[in-house]
Amino acid sequence: MMGTRGVPALYGGFETAVEEIGSRLAARGHQVTVYCRNPDQTITSYKGMSLVNLPAIRHRAAETLSHTGLSAVHAAIRDRPDVAFVLNAANAPYLRPLRMAGVPCAIHLDGLESRREKWRGAGAAYYRWAEKASVRRGTAVIADSQAIADYVRATYGRDCDVIAYGAPVLHPGSDRLAELGLRPGDFHLLVARFEPENHVVDAVHGYRSSDESRAFVVVGGAPYSQWYVDQVKQAGAGDRRITFTGGIYDQSLLDQLYGHCLTYVHGHSVGGTNPSLLRAMGAGAPVLAYDVEFNREVTANQALFWADADSLRAHVNAIASGGMSNALAELSVMGQTRIAEHYQWDDITTQYEELARRLITASDRATS
């Protein structure tokens, strides 16, 4: 498994997926190697997985490519795996060398990366090329939502294996909310990187112009988009209801926020299946989701949808008036049911296992 920061999962949906799936595959008796670029990491095994720690150029445009290049060389020459799961379409240049070394490759796309603001210009052009190359060169292509698979089919004429992310069904305690001065059910929550396609500014504007008196807790930041971070902070400046916490990487505290917010505001618009949305639903958070096909697919339309600051404000005002209590309770139950029935890591691991076996069998046939 390569193309991510690796494990232990410290940050990001890809890393969590690698840890959850890789550890389960190892528990089922498979030999799992994960390539890692966590700074200063020295451990070589974790939850049954073998870890290969390799360096990377610490630059936004070069980090993933430099590390995955070294990983591909190591895999082709030293490890010689039966199959490689390569995460992130940006790593498309390494699919052909791996396949030439006899390693079948399943490439996992990550939403519509070329549409992200941070990759504008040359970065967006590269991602458009990489997306096309991934679909053409991968032995198999993994999409984490049916909407992404439909896009790939319509654009490139290739079918994908649709394998989503997972999330637990949680009933967290509330003892740590006091660390942020919060009480259960008395705040709204947003968790996101501060990037334009996540519509954080719209969410803050919509809340600020509402009649709601309860707190709006905004968790997140951005390492490369300071101009947008400044816009977000300016949108909420001077409003005592709005709290910016910065990034929170303590999963226990995050789970309590998800599990005890009045609503979870989700503004992501260009990804496929979003891990934060899954986690919030699994913890029972009623969702106010940005109205795109990805979010409708994940929630099965069981959410309140918004498209701009005004439509979000209308939802928040309806909630503030006290007339939405039953509807929010129903959304909470339906969200947890959706996670329990469709987004469990054990089932997702089985899908990866079956895909690996299929690729290995096809490779064996081709060489016999």
Q: What is the pLDDT of residues 254-313, one digit of tens each?
A: 999 999 999 999 999 987 899 999 999 999 999 999 999 999 999 999 999 999 999 999
Over range 138-159, report the average pLDDT.
Answer: 95
354 and 331 within one domain: no
Share of the chain above pLDDT 90, in %: 85
Cis peptide before 8 (omega within 30 of 0): yes
193 and 154 within one domain: no
The Cβ of residue 92 has, within 10 Å, a number of other Cβ atoms equal to: 26
Over range 85-113, report the average pLDDT.
Answer: 92
220 and 136 within one domain: no
Confidence of residue 368 (pLDDT cuts 50, 70, 90): low
pLDDT of the residue at 119: 55
Over range 65-89, report the average pLDDT.
Answer: 96
Strands 304-306 and 45-46, bridge-based pairing: unpaired
Give the closest residue to 286 by CA, choosing from 364, 188, 194, 215: 188
Is residue 364 over pLDDT 80?
no
Longest alpha-carbon distance in the chain: 70
pLDDT of the residue at 194: 94
214 and 81 within one domain: no
DSSP code for 118? G
pLDDT of the residue at 120: 66
Number of domains in the chain: 2
Question: Tens digit of pLDDT for each residue in 340-351?
Answer: 999 999 999 999
Q: Flag whether 8 is in a domain.
A: no
36-40, 91-95, 220-224: which range is least confident on average? Answer: 220-224
Give the closest residue to 192 by CA, choosing from 217, 218, 226: 218
The Cβ of residue 40 has, within 10 Å, a number of other Cβ atoms equal to: 5
Give the closest residue to 245 by CA, choosing from 172, 177, 313: 177
Q: Do residues 144 and 152 lie in contact, with contact meaning Cβ atoms separated by under 8 Å?
A: no
Q: Flag whether 5 is in a domain.
A: no
Is residue 114 over pLDDT 60?
no
Is residue 4 over pLDDT 80?
yes
Q: Do residues 277 and 295 lie in contact, with contact meaning Cβ atoms separated by under 8 Å?
A: yes
pLDDT of the residue at 223: 74
160 and 194 within one domain: no
Question: Tens digit of pLDDT for each residue in 216-260?
Answer: 999 998 877 789 999 999 999 999 999 999 999 899 999 999 999
pLDDT of the residue at 118: 60
Question: Tens digit of pLDDT for each residue in 304-324?
Answer: 999 999 999 999 999 999 989
232 and 109 within one domain: no
Count of H-run helices and E-run strands, the chain: 13, 13
Q: What is the rounded distance in angstroms from the CA atom of residue 162 to the CA atom of residue 159?
A: 9
Q: Which residues of 152-174 are buried (b: 16+ CB within 10 A; e: fewer)?
A: beeeeeeebbbbbbbbbbbebee
260 and 221 within one domain: yes
Q: Flag whether 7 is in a domain.
A: no
Domain that holds residue 301: 177-342
Residue entry with tokens 């458009």: 128
Q: Flag whether 20 is in a domain.
A: yes
pLDDT of the residue at 10: 81
Confidence of residue 111 (pLDDT cuts 50, 70, 90): low
Over range 108-115, report the average pLDDT.
Answer: 71
Is residue 210 over pLDDT 70?
yes
pLDDT of the residue at 12: 76
Confidence of residue 47 (pLDDT cuts 50, 70, 90): very high
Confidence of residue 112 (pLDDT cuts 50, 70, 90): low
Confidence of residue 32 (pLDDT cuts 50, 70, 90): very high
CATH of the domain at 60: 3.40.50.2000
- Per-chain mean pLDDT for the chain: 94
Over range 110-135, report the average pLDDT.
Answer: 75
Q: What is the rounded distance in angstroms from the CA atom of residue 58 to the CA atom of residue 86?
A: 20
221 and 162 within one domain: no
